[in-house]
Every structure is written in C-alpha cells, then in structure tokens.
Amino acid sequence: MEKEKIKQAAEMIIKAEYPVVLTGAGISAESGVPTFRGKSGLWKKYDPEAAVSIAGFRRDPEPFWDFAQDLLLENDIQPNPGHIALAELEKLGIIKKIITQNIDFLHQRAGSEEVLELHGTLNRATCLNCKKKYDWKDLVPVIEAGNIPECDNCQSNKIKPDIVFFGERLPQDALKQAWQAAERSDLMIVIGTSLAVYPVASLPSVTKENGGELIYLNVDSGQQDYLFDLIIKGKAGEILPEILKMID
C-alpha cells in the first residue's frame, strides 16, 4: 500500500508547478534531535519558562544553555536522507521553498537554499546588550566546556541564539514569505509535524483554500488529517529518497 502511495506522491510532485514543503520536529528526530513534546520530549525534562522564554533568559541564561547542550551537542547531529532528498529535489528545480519550524539548520547543511525558518535558527546568535553577532560554531567550544558564552565586546553573558523564545514574535519577514509561498503553492508536502502550533499550523489550509493539494508524511497521525489529499505513514528518511528515485 505504501508503495502505491509513494508512487502517487511522486506523480503529484511531478505535476505540480509550485510545490513547497513544510517541516517539523519529526524529520529532525530521525537525525537524533530530541523532540519537545511527547512522552520523552524535552519539555518533560526542562521547564519551558526557565529554558526558552525571553523573560527567563534575561533573568538567567544558564537553563537555556543546559537545554541547548541537550538539544544539539549530546549527539553527532547530521542531516539524514530525508533532508538530503529534499535538497536534491530543490536542485532539480522541483521544490521551490522549504518552510520549517526547526531551528537546527539541518536543511541548509544538507544543501537546501530556499529555506524559511519560522522559529529562527541556532546557527547565529546576538548579544542582547551590545548587539554583536556571533556564529554558533564559535560558541560551541564554550558550551561543550560547560560554560555560558560571554560577549567579547561588552562582557555580557546574555548572548542569545537567533531562535524565537516564548514571549517573542515570529520573524515577520519569514512568516510573510511563508504565507505567500503557501498561497502560491499548488502542492504542499507537510513532513514530521503534528500541526499543533499556530500560526504555522494554518499554512496547509492556506494552500488548500487557494486550490492546492496536500500531502502528509509522518510516523503518526496529525491534528488536521482531514485536510490532506494523500497521507503516508512512515519516516521521511526512508520515504523521501524513494520518491526522489521515481522523479530523478
């Protein structure tokens, strides 16, 4: 049955003029990035208010850096075959945009260029005091040593990654571009998200309302399954390469 669905997905992608992709934590989980919700999610271990709220970070940045180490530094996180297949589909001129809720920059590391990061990225950071910019890779040795990064310009310990904390607005330019892509898209492929977090969870409806089709790829059911024209249960790292083979 899944082989037939994979074939159908490939046919839908080939037919589409402006296919876009929306990804969530599920695709990154296949690379070893911990998820936030669920039985073993990070919110069972960390208090979101202390770890990833802007008010909590301003009070004390240490809980965030403990959280960040658990999120990305405990494992050797690398793009998986799902990320790589999406990058290949972009290089072929098929996928036009990847809209992601993920902050791990795995899409870019896999080779994707047209990526809209709706929750920001850990790839960059900014000192909240003097606004000096930092690359994530320059902060990693400090974090791995168990220390809190300090700004070498003003000595503040409030270097904040450019991710959206609770209490902050989503990046409005990226959100506007995502909405425009969803409106233009005649096919949206939703991967690894339960569509529980708004306003991002509204994007498939935008495509649907504008006459587009929807494909859902995830290991579990989502909260908007009724919207989708095709649902494939499984791992992105296994199914997306199979779709790519049928297209390439």
Which two tokens mark 185? 């898209």
- Tell me how far apart the alpha carbons of residues 80 and 116 are, in angstroms, rounded to a whole number: 19
Instruction: Please report, for residues 27, 54, 114, 172, 179, the alpha-carbon distance to residue 164 in angstroms, rounded to integers and kept in the order given.
Output: 19, 9, 20, 11, 18
Annotated active-site positions, please?
Answer: 119
Cα separation values, 176 from 57, 149, 171, 179, 219, Å: 27, 32, 9, 5, 29
Listed residue (79, 39, 15, 67) closest to 241, CA to CA: 79
- Torsion from C-alpha of 12, 13, 15, 16, nearest 10 degrees: 110
Q: Among all chains, which residue has been given the structure tokens 């990654």?
A: 161
Cis peptide before 19 (omega within 30 of 0): no
